[in-house]
Chain A
Amino acid sequence: MTRTLLHDARLIDPEQGTDTRGWLLIENGHIVATGSDAATPEAEERVDCAGKCLAPGIVDLGVKVCEPGERHKESYRSAGRAAAAGGVTTMITRPDTLPAIDSPEALEFVSRRANEAADINVLPMAALTKGREGREMTEIGFLMDAGAVAFTDCDHVVRDTKVLARALTYARGLGALVIGHVQEPTLSAGATATSGKFASLYGLPAVSPMAERMGIDRDIALIEMTGVRYHVDQITTARALPALRRARANGLDITAGTSIHHLTLNDLDVAGYRTFFKVKPPLRSEDDRMAVVEAVRDGLIDTISSMHTPQDEESKRLPFEEAASGAVGLETLLPAALRLYQSGDLTLAALFRALSLNPAKRLGLPCGRLAVGAPADLVLFDPDKPFVLDRWTLRSKSKNTPFDGQRMQGKVITTYVAGCPVFESPNA
């Protein structure tokens, strides 16, 4: 059996919170040993990492692949390539396709497509209610048997609290993880920006950041009522954080994520009605952004996701209010997240805790760590290498990135899934 040794690496271990020089040994697709001593074990294959960073591959919670329905925007093949190039080794896919993934049959279809077309791990989520319409719960048990790792209606908020309470109670009985989008849906109806000076100057219909706090308040009450395992897809405002902190302190089983766009951009970026910056929820003020970064540092916010949402040119080349929401993020997640490292806000270990370890832990996956026995899903990257992003070089079928033309730092050199390289940078 071949053994692969990655030596002279900067090992980023989010579990231990360490960033040390060392080596890592892979056998049978798993990590079998790590160390920092000069004497390295014997191995058939040796890779000199030249002091670059080696971290557990990213577990991206909430990726949209547009199969079925809109394969021209993103397929499992194109998403798989983009993910591998971005250091993402596990994609947790969203069910907000056309039609929604709300039956075991639909889930089996996407699992089969994913296995055929993508080199990286793909784990699907399923809808919580049929058609994501918030009226009847899906077959949560059958969907779990078919491989659904979590249940979510994505950006559709279940308005009827009774329906949601029943779905959460039923999910609790099966131990299912439910992922919610916290928004007060009537307050945020029609909004395309966050209320404030900017939205008023630009004349865009806006929602108060308070709508997120109202959403989380309701859902926390329901978690207390039902005891369900619950994860908030995106916390984006300062106002929602105290509620989350209290719920944690009260021992509720609640975790929370945020999106890379809300961590690195703010509402002023929309200036000039740039539709590539239209995301859902809308970009927030700089004060909110800084509060969310701090919450990631403190560990109050557990996960960072790309919220990869492919949109073709036609759905973005419209007046701002009519344009589709969402941004692609699989390939830019790591360099954008590294901005928080470059700015001194987060250590690399803290960054990978949110990118890899925490999402894996929340979903009960063995990956996301550098521990012995864990799958050898790894990313080797240069955290400093500068480049200017050209959106036409992205591997996603859709090129709707807000980072087009921006200076970024950090390039993936090699991505490993189960010890095999699935991406190798052509110019490394």
Chain B
Amino acid sequence: MVFDHAHLLGIEPLSQGDITTILDLADQYADLNRRDVKHSDALAGLTQINMFFENSTRTQASFELAGKRLGADVMNMAMQASSIKKGETLIDTAMTLNAMHPDLLVVRHPQSGAVDLLAQKVNCAVLNAGDGRHEHPTQALLDALTIRRAKGRLHRLNIAICGDIAHSRVARSNIILLGKMENRIRLVGPPTLMPSGIDAFGVEVYDNMEEGLRDVDVVMMLRLQRERMDGGFIPSEREYYFRYGLDAEKLSFASPEAIVMHPGPMNRGVEIDGEIADDINRSVIQEQVEMGVAVRMAAMDLLARNLRARAAGNGEVMA
């Protein structure tokens, strides 16, 4: 299977084969990351710039580590503090960076579609590290790898995604990815946190946790943003926790082997009970973080191979 994309902007353009290619390579990098010497030269000589227009600690650290373990020269730019504040447009910022000849550009932006726009204006490979409410492809890929390693397969599973679906790019990318891999997806949450037109997504929608979690193999919790808690979307934190927070009682409706996932950072006692999150028999939250580095290494490696092939005049590679 040939991975023939110039950028990783979302899950939507990827085929089943593309997804499997990334996950297979990520499995190898996961093994590398557990060795004493965690180093490869796959990205040696290449420059990776992380541009985060929105605060992030984990994702940025994960991309930085992934790049460094593959031997790239990694630079972090905190865009919130820089030229954007001085009134420069996104495209001008992109053109400026482009002139510095980066090879890999990792971008997070608070507006949907901003990373696509940027990718049209630069010559390097662009990885979307989250744009608005649109997509967060590496998160969905690391979730998929975690599921595949825990369950032994990534198809014909019953998966519940719970919480703030409407504002979540993680949910969107996961719905697309898990759908492409032929799983049954349930969305569970209050109707105020469900996106419009959800009936057309090929998913089952529940507003009750007990029904939504019944017999599922995977429970994916989403982070509830602080700004949604003030009565606009839900009445209060405590009512939300009572009705939608994952605790032992609600989890008992799921399959006995069900795993619990969370993209982090968690609000303990809001969407998830602390004991569930820490239960090593159920929670794979730490594995998700570990797989994050491996998946990002795999994605950057594949994109860099295409860059090199293109530079070598092998014209087949384009997306």
Residues of A participating in the B interface, judged by any CB pair closer than 8 Å: 195-204, 206, 208, 272-273, 314, 317-322
Contact = CB atoms under 8 A, between A and B. Distances in A.
B117 A319 contact: yes
Contact of A203 (B90, B169, B198, B201): B169
B196 interface: yes
Interface stretch (B29-37, B132-140, B282-290, B299-307): B132-140
A203 B172 contact: yes
Contacts of A206: 196
Interface of A is mostly: loop
A197 B200 contact: yes
B132 A200 contact: no
A332 to B, nearest CB: 24
A318 B114 CA distance: 8
B108 interface: no
A200 B116 CA distance: 17
Contact of B112 (A196, A204, A314): A204
B201 A197 contact: yes
Nearest to B165: A200
A203 B200 contact: no
Contacts of B196: 195-197, 199-200, 206, 208
Contact of B197 (A197, A273, A317, A318): A197
B116 A203 contact: no
B172 A273 contact: no
Most buried by A among B89, B91, B135, B195: B195
A199 B197 contact: yes
12 contacts: A197-B198, A199-B196, A200-B195, A200-B197, A201-B172, A202-B134, A203-B133, A203-B169, A206-B196, A273-B112, A317-B117, A321-B132
Most buried by B among A200, A204, A317: A200
Given A273-B116, A320-B111, 19 more contacts: A195-B197, A197-B201, A200-B166, A200-B172, A200-B195, A200-B201, A203-B113, A203-B132, A203-B134, A203-B169, A206-B196, A273-B117, A317-B89, A317-B91, A317-B117, A318-B117, A319-B90, A319-B111, A321-B132
B69 interface: no
B197 A322 contact: no
A62 B21 CA distance: 54
Contacts of B111: 319-322
Contacts of A202: 112-113, 134
A330 B111 CA distance: 31
B131 to A, nearest CB: 8
Nearest to A207: B196
Nearest to A201: B172
Contact of A272 (B114, B116, B135): B116
Contact of B113 (A198, A273, A314, A317): A273
Contacts of A203: 112-113, 131-135, 169, 172
Nearest to B111: A319
Q: Give 6 nearest A-B pairs by CB, closest first.
A: A203-B133, A273-B113, A197-B197, A203-B134, A195-B196, A200-B195
Contacts of A199: 195-197
Interface in B178-200: 195-198, 200
Nearest to B201: A197
B112 A318 contact: no
B109 interface: yes
Nearest to A322: B111
B197 A196 contact: yes
A204 B90 CA distance: 18
Contacts of A198: 197
Contacts of A322: 111
Contacts of B113: 202-204, 273, 319-321
Contacts of A272: 116
Contacts of A273: 112-113, 116-117
B283 to A, nearest CB: 28
Contacts of A200: 166, 172, 195-198, 201
Contacts of B114: 319
Most buried by B among A197, A203, A320: A203
A321 B132 CA distance: 10
A196 B196 CA distance: 5
Interface in B100-115: 109, 111-114
Contacts of B133: 203-204
A238 to B, nearest CB: 16
Most buried by A among B112, B131, B169, B172: B112
Given A203-B132, A203-B134, A203-B135, A320 B112 contact: yes
A320 B169 CA distance: 16
A11 to B, nearest CB: 46
Nearest to B53: A319
A204 B196 CA distance: 11
Contacts of B89: 314, 317-318
Contacts of A204: 112-113, 132-133
A199 B117 CA distance: 17
Contacts of A208: 196
A200 B196 CA distance: 6
B112 A321 contact: yes
A317 B117 CA distance: 8
Contacts of B135: 203
B203 to A, nearest CB: 11
A320 B112 CA distance: 7
Contacts of B169: 203
A206 B291 CA distance: 34
A265 to B, nearest CB: 18
A206 B111 CA distance: 14
A273 B197 CA distance: 19
